[in-house]
Amino acid sequence: MSESMKYFREQRLPHIWCPGCGHGTVTGALVRAITRLNLDKNKVVVVSGIGCSSRAPGYLDFDTLHTTHGRALAFATGVKLSRPELKVIVMTGDGDCTAIGGNHFIHAARRNIDITTIVMNNNIYGMTSGQFSPMTPKGMIGTTAPYGNTERSFDLANLAIAAGATYVGRGTAYHAKLLEDLIFQALQNKGFSVVEAVTQCPTYLGRRNKFGTVVDMLNWFKDSAVNVKAAAVMTPDKLAGKFLVGELYNKPDQEFTAAYDQLVAQVQRKFDSFKGGTRECAQNSD
Amino acid sequence: MTNVKLMQGNEACTLGAITAGMDFYAGYPITPSTEVAEICATELPKIGGKFIQMEDEIGSIAAIIGASLTGRKAMTATSGPGFSLMQENIGYAALTEVPIVIINVQRVGPSTGMPTSPAQSDVMQARWGTHGDHPIVVLAPGNVKECFDLTVKAFNIAEEYRVPVIVLTDEVVGHMREKVVLPEPGSVTIVDRQKPQSRANYLPFAADQDGGVPLMASFGDGFRYHVTGLFHDETGFPTNRGDIANASIRRLMRKVEKAEPLIRDYFTESTDDCELLVVAFGSSAMSSLSAVRQARAKGIKAGLFRPKTIWPFPETVLDELAGRVKRIIVPEMNMGQLVLEIQRIVGGRAPVESLTKVNGELFRPEEVLEAIVGGRK
Amino acid sequence: MRTEFRLSGSGGQGLLLAGIVLAEAAILDGKNAVQTQSYGPEARGGASKAEVVISESDIDYPKATDPDYLLALTAEAYRTYGKLMGKGLIILDSSVEATADIAARTVRVPILDTAATVIGKKVVANIVALGVLAGLSGIVKPATLELAVRNRVPQGTEDLNLQALRQGFELAAAAKVAT
């Protein structure tokens, strides 16, 4: 751990997260993966939106950008397209990423822009004290689902794959080493990478849903998670009520900013610079 | 002769932006602003710049803020519905002091309204559209050449004062083509943001409390600082301290207040001896200028005051005029928005009459002339 | 002296381009020119109008207030804008019948037909119309207009469009004799 401390803003600690919260574990996994890659801290930008997860960048010693709710990926797209040489990481939560930020998420995936997105999925809106999110399992209690959540939840990994992400993994705060390995791989994928980190919110999800202690919540992850390799030889009834962890997708494809730079090079060979005034254009509405 | 062109307003805005050093554009298609995006998509790659069509206007403004933080001059363009979607992040740019320029080509609202018809009904939204007290600068070109000039100026103000700047045009100004004599390359004044020299003791939001502007480091240059839309102290990290929030809001507002005499821009015609003053901006001022000239031909002592900076309003100039005219008429293609600011400044010294038009058509000069003549009876 | 043109028809007829070329020619002739338009949601069909104001001096108001020349290529455009005409001349495509309730001076010219049958390309009707407008108004030098057409039409169609323009000049000359 000592080696990875160089990536923290130690003077910003302690963090604001509740005792027992899993976000510190996820942040630790990210920093250990960065340490293994020995990234130049001057060339990393970490972007976040709004929520508990989005406070993480404040503790990290990079250029860090804490933006508006749901928009981290859109800000990050501007950073990355502007300076493709920078390593851009987005830290977001289940509400930030899949509800208010859902549109930016699928379009960042579609473009395959080289951004590594860590989604801290605690299945609840923690910062606003426990409303259900698009990732809250059906039946669970939230302050806005006092009789149990009636909505279906997203499968974030499948959503990311369908939208075009080229690296997708899932880990949990219990599977901390796996999580670190997945982030380590995700950071090396030249394209849009998503690591869903299932994490515990003892204060708002655990307490209301009678999960017991933090350890009980971590045991829930341990008992419910099945590694994708093991799942390959398991029958559907054995997989009922379980979720997959591990590397769920890894299929590199052409990256957006590189494709754009290629286009710029081609165009620059072909054209003189703009002088204006001779353009004719059609005008349509809406 | 090579610098004389028949040029469209939207085209002139874009060319002005490129002249000012804009090399990053993010936008979403919307009438009647779309030509700006189309020209950027075509021209920016030629100069090594970046263009991206985002998934919506919220993403567009977010992307230009991100790009500006890496040191680029960045812009977006939109119209009513898209401008509404951008409001939250306009506030973000104002609080985090990230220079950006937004071209808002006004059309008839509310809602989808009349997409292909002009209006001037975003005057108040441009000033107060995002929540909270915030600084902003709004410039209103009155012809195609000014689309060029004021977009250059918009970038210069954004860079110097680290504020979002809105260029408020409309469907008429944006789409009309007229003869434009472009300035010689190299003769245009270009302002770039002040950057810190070294990381040692860099405090990203440290500035003179009396409207000072902090030095702005670029992401990726080794400064490793934090930017947040929460209130923050001079280190950039969030704080809940009321005294710091109070000082921040006052400094941010003071930045623009202090800048007003320096950025102030307006046009006058026949105001030296006028008894009746028409105050109009943008395309309404074209009709008004014609009406004032016709009134003069009839022997009526009419004059025109046309602000090009509408927020902050060139208050002292109007204040001086208000003291010596008998009537003021304010034609606007809305239900009476800028007139409220004018009434505030005039403070009852002369009657201020609002002339409104919301049918998606420019005022005809006769309509303004009738208001001028009618009041003499 | 302010000269106002209103070019009206339906979307897709290329009247916006014709207006742009006319304005550009005026500028190349050293005059001031402003071109505006109004249009609906349709890219093709629907009502469409382009206006050009040309003057030796400063142009304050950009729109036509009492056009000196109205070009109407469709019956709808003729009825809508013809009724507004005071002093000006209406140039009406011969496919549209003139009506008694529109009192303004009117010449009927086979613009659409010339494009379709003489040139063999309906799409150049806008440039034929431009030739007619320029010929009847004498507002710009024919050589300047040819240059402006070359500047603004799509690459590879210059000769076709210049042929259309010259047909327009001839139609104007014939119309002048007739009036």
Q: Which two tokens stand for residue A164?
A: 């075009």
ipTM of predicted assembly, 2 dp: 0.97
H helix and E strand count, chain B:
12, 16
Chain C residues close to A282, C-beta within 8 Å: 16, 43
Q: Does A11 touch chain B (CB under 8 A)?
A: no
3-state secondary structure of B367: helix
Cβ A280–C20 below 8 Å, yes or no?
yes
Q: Does A275 touch chain C (CB under 8 A)?
A: no
- Specify the DSSP element, H or E, that contains A86: none
Query: What angle do helix axes B34-43 and B9-20 make, rounded to 10 degrees?
Result: 40
Distance CA B328, CA B346 (A): 9
**Per-residue pLDDT, A279:** 43
Q: Which two tokens stand for residue B137?
A: 């600068």
Cβ B289–C24 below 8 Å, yes or no?
no
- Specify the DSSP element, H or E, that contains A24: helix A23-37
Chain C residues close to A285, C-beta within 8 Å: 39-41
Distance CA B251, CA B253 (A): 6
**Per-residue pLDDT, A80:** 98
Question: Do residues B52 and B63 touch, judged by C-beta distance below 8 A?
Answer: yes
Q: How much is the mean pLDDT over chain C?
A: 94
CATH architecture of A3-270: 3-Layer(aba) Sandwich (3.40)
Q: What percent of chain C has pLDDT over 90?
A: 88
Residues A100-104: contacts with CB under 8 Å, at least 24 apart: A100/A49, A100/A69, A100/A70, A101/A49, A101/A69, A101/A70, A101/A71, A101/A72, A101/A73, A102/A70, A102/A134, A103/B55, A103/B56, A103/B59, A104/A70, A104/A71, A104/A72, A104/A73, A104/A74, A104/A77, A104/B55, A104/B59, A104/B62
How many Cα atoms sit within 13 Å of A248 on the Cβ side? 23
Which amino acid is located at A183 in the chain?
I
Distance CA B311, CA B333 (A): 17
Comparing alpha-carbon positions, the chain B residue that sits nearest to C48 is B116
Kindly compute the dihedral angle of the four CA atoms of residues B291, B296, B297, B300, in this order, to the nearest 10 degrees.
110
Chain B residues close to C27, C-beta within 8 Å: 4, 6, 179
Min Cα–Cα distance to chain B from C174, Å: 31
Question: Do residues A202 and A211 touch, judged by C-beta distance below 8 A?
Answer: yes
pTM of the full structure:
0.96
Residue C41 has pLDDT above 90, yes or no: no
Q: Which tens digits make up the pLDDT trace of A245-261?
A: 999 999 999 999 999 99
Comparing alpha-carbon positions, the chain A residue that sits nearest to B34 is A283
Residue with tokens 């309906």: C122
Residue with tokens 């990478």: A193
If one counts every other C-beta atom within 10 angstroms of the C-beta of residue B188, the result is 16
Q: What percent of chain B has pLDDT over 70?
A: 99
Query: Subunits touching C (CB < 8 Å, at least 3 pairs)?
Result: A, B
Chain B residues close to A279, C-beta within 8 Å: 8, 11, 39
Q: Which tens digits make up the pLDDT trace of A116-164?
A: 999 999 999 999 999 999 999 999 999 999 999 999 999 999 999 999 9
H helix and E strand count, chain C:
6, 6
Residue with tokens 């080289």: A114
Cβ A281–B32 below 8 Å, yes or no?
no
What are the structural domain ranges in chain B?
A: 4-181, 266-374
The β-bridge partners of B166 are B102, B138
What are the structural domain ranges in chain C?
A: 2-178
Check for a shared fold between B4-181 and B266-374: yes
Comparing alpha-carbon positions, the chain A residue that sits nearest to B199 is A42
CATH 1.10.10.10 for domain C2-178: no
Min Cα–Cα distance to chain A from B42, Å: 9
Q: Which tens digits make up the pLDDT trace of A80-120?
A: 999 999 999 999 999 999 999 999 999 999 999 999 999 99
- Specify the DSSP element, H or E, that contains C133: helix C125-137
Fold for the domain defined by B4-181: Rossmann fold (3.40.50)
Q: Which tens digits make up the pLDDT trace of B254-278?
A: 999 999 999 999 999 999 999 999 9
Q: Which two tokens stand for residue B63?
A: 């992307």
Chain C residues close to B293, C-beta within 8 Å: 60
Q: Which tens digits make up the pLDDT trace of B187-242?
A: 999 999 999 999 999 999 999 999 999 999 999 999 999 999 999 999 999 999 99
Q: What is the largest CA-CA distance in chain B?
A: 71
Average pLDDT for residues C28-44, to the nearest whole number? 86
**Per-residue pLDDT, B2:** 60
Q: What is the largest CA-CA distance in chain C?
A: 44
Q: Which two tokens stand for residue A103?
A: 């549109």
pLDDT band of residue A174 (cuts 50, 70, 90) is very high
CA distances from A251 to A107, A245, A268 (A): 18, 17, 31
Fold for the domain defined by B266-374: Rossmann fold (3.40.50)
Q: Which of A152, A173, A170 is nearest to A161 (CA)?
A: A170
What are the residue ranges of helices labelled H in A152-205? Answer: 156-163, 176-188
Phi-psi region of B224 (alpha: psi -120 to 50; beta: other; left: phi over 0): left
What are the residue ranges of helices labelled H in chain B? Answer: 9-20, 34-43, 57-69, 80-96, 123-128, 144-161, 171-175, 242-263, 282-297, 315-322, 338-346, 365-374
If one counts every other C-beta atom within 10 angstroms of the C-beta of residue B374, the result is 10
Distance CA B220, CA A44 (A): 7
Residue with tokens 């209006």: B119
What are the structural domain ranges in chain A?
A: 3-270
Task: Convert B88-111 to b/e letters by CB count within 10 Å (16 or more is b).
Answer: bbbbbbbbbbbbbbbbbbbbbbee
Residue C58 has pLDDT above 60, yes or no: yes
Instruction: Report whether the peptide linkage leading into residue B261 is cis, meaning its omega lies within 30 degrees of zero.
Output: no
